[in-house]
Structure formats: structure tokens, C-alpha cells
Amino acid sequence: PAVPQLPFSTGGTIPQLGYGVFKVDPDIAADVTAQALEAGYRHIDTARIYGNEEGVGRAIAASDVPREELFVTTKLWNDAHSFDDAIAACEASLERLGLDYVDLYLVHWAVPEQGQYVEAWKALIELQKRGLVRTIGVSNYPLPQLEEIIEATGVAPAIHQIELHPYFQQRELRELHEKHGILTEAWGPLGQGKSDLLENPAVTGVAEAHGVSPAQAVLAWHLASGIVTIPKSVTPSRIVENLAAAEIELTADEVAAIDALDRPDGRGGADPSTKTA
């Protein structure tokens, strides 16, 4: 399936649909990542805290896909927000991945109460200067902290990875992203199995109209909405199925029907404003 490439305002592009490996057991990470590459994914999303960077790296090393055709993201964990720790943490992630650069490095959570989210962002700016990472962004920054790092450094993140799915659409943050040329990336795009999203009649209605699964309908909604999306599965048929969502084109009415599912209490994961280390 042909996955669109979205341009960063800072240069370069990102495949709009990728493969996420949160909660993928380190023992199977190499195997499922290899399956994803075989299926045609060219964008892999991991993190230090997932404990599976080595497995992802082994799959990349064993694959025939040229490095320049791959897009690899990893993330800085909350225990390494000081400038020197962040530099060292990135170097250690690269070592585990067996790569000399990652395409995207993200601060994983702002952790406002820890008060080092500006310093962590400055370290990422330095890592990009040093060529260890091609593009830099953040994840889970509440709106005030996102504005603060831009004001403090004059550098806006190229992308912001946040919880986002039809029940939690993050319109306020997305408006700020647009203002600053920041791409929006969805984590938990399928709702992480925490709600009845995939049984919602608006979703199943769109799915039936296209002869696709509810998960594919939701992913097609992300793509139609200009959002980068990184569904996770360790089930071979679903790994293939999720990527095939790139071939589904929703009508404006179908997008609107899923847009209407947004709800104020739709958050399934931690609230970045109160998240502690």
C-alpha cells in the first residue's frame, strides 16, 4: 500500500502511517518488526521505556530495506531531562538500535512538575545540530508547556505525538499546531482497546460502506484528517490490515460522521498536565 509522506515544516518528510511497538515484549520485538517491514511499513515508533529498541534494531539490521527508506522514531524518557542526561540517553538509544541516527527523536512526556521540559527540548535542538537525529519533536506536552518551549528557544517541534482517536480529538492543541506548522501524530489511534470505539455505529457504518474493518475505518479517518498515525498490533493479519488502511478514501460526510464522536471525557491514557515521572 502507498503510504503518503507528510512534509515537516523544518524539512524532510514522515510516512503518515507507521508501526508502533508500545507493550511489545522485547522477546518478540524483532520478529513482529520484521513482519511489519515485510508487510511494507517504512516507519517504526519505539521508545527507550518500551525496552524493545534492541529488537527493533535487529529487525532493521536483518532487513533488505535501505536505511534511507526507513523512518525510525525513539523517545527520551522522563528520567533524563537534564541536558547532559538527554544527550547520553540519545546516544544509548542509538547504540541499542544499532543506528547512527534516528529520523525522529521525541521528548516522551513534559512532566510539568519536574520542571525540566525546556532543558530537555534544548538538548534535542543540540542533538539535531550534532546530526544524531534528523528531526525533533515532543510528545505529551500540555498546551502551556508547548507554547513555553517555543517561546524559550524560538524553535517549534516539527511534530507533537499525543493521545488522539475519534473519542479524543485534541482540537485545541491541533489549532496551536497549525499556527506553528507542527504536525500532529496520534498515539493510541485505535483507542488502545479501552473503549467501545471499534463497535461504535458511526465507525462500523463507515467500515461496512467500504467493506473494511472498523480499525481500518478509524485509521482512514486519521489519514483523511492529516494526522500521522502509528497503530500497534502483534497479530500478523492485523499488521497487514492496518497498513492497508492507506488505500481507503473516506468521503467528507464519512469524516464528519466520525468527527462527531469527539467527547470531553474521551481520554483513555494519562493526562500530560499531571503526569509524574
Residues with catalytic function: 50
Q: Does 188 bind ligand NAD (CB under 6 A)?
A: yes
Interface segment toward ligand NAD; rule CB under 6 A; list 17-25, 35-43, 80-88, 204-212: 17-25
CA distance to 18, 61, 145, 161, 238, per residue, from 139 (Å): 16, 27, 11, 4, 26
- DSSP E strands, the chain: 5-7, 13-15, 19-20, 43-45, 71-76, 102-107, 133-139, 159-163, 183-187, 228-229
Site for ligand NAD in 206-245 (CB under 6 A): 213, 215, 230-233, 238, 241-242
- Residue 113, classified by CB atoms within 10 Å of its CB into exposed (0-12), middle (13-18) or buried (19+), is exposed
Closest distance of CB 71 from ligand NAD, Å: 13
165 is known to lie in a ligand binding site: no
Q: Which is nearer to ligand NAD, 131 or 274 (CB)?
A: 274
Identified binder of ligand NAD from the candidate list 35, 139, 145, 170, rule CB under 6 A: 139
Interface residue with ligand NAD among 189, 202, 222, 266 (CB under 6 A) is 189
The footprint of ligand NAD on residues 91-130 (CB under 6 A) is 108
Q: Tell me which residues in 31-50 interact with ligand NAD (CB under 6 A).
A: 45
Q: Is 161 in the site for ligand NAD (CB under 6 A)?
A: yes
Q: Identify which of residues 238 and 267 has a Cβ nearer to ligand NAD in the complex.
A: 238
Distance CA 20, CA 189 (A): 10
CA distances from 160 to 26, 141, 188, 250, 273 (A): 26, 8, 14, 24, 15
Q: Which is nearer to ligand NAD, 87 or 104 (CB)?
A: 104
Return the range that interacts with ligand NAD (CB under 6 A); candidates 55-63, 129-137, 141-149, 183-191: 183-191
Nearer to ligand NAD, 22 or 101 (CB): 22
By beta carbon distance, the residue nearest ligand NAD is 20
Is residue 190 involved in binding ligand NAD (CB under 6 A)?
yes
d(CA 230, CA 243): 10
Residue entry with cell 526507513: 70
Distance set, CA 165 to CA 53, 169, 230, 251, 267 (Å)? 26, 6, 11, 18, 9
# chain residues binding ligand NAD, by CB under 6 A: 25
Distance CA 193, CA 188 (A): 9
- CB closer to ligand NAD out of 94 and 218: 218
Bind-site residues for substrate: 108
Positions that interact with ligand NAD (CB under 6 A): 20-22, 45, 108, 139-140, 161, 187-193, 198, 213, 215, 230-233, 238, 241-242
Bind-site residues: 108
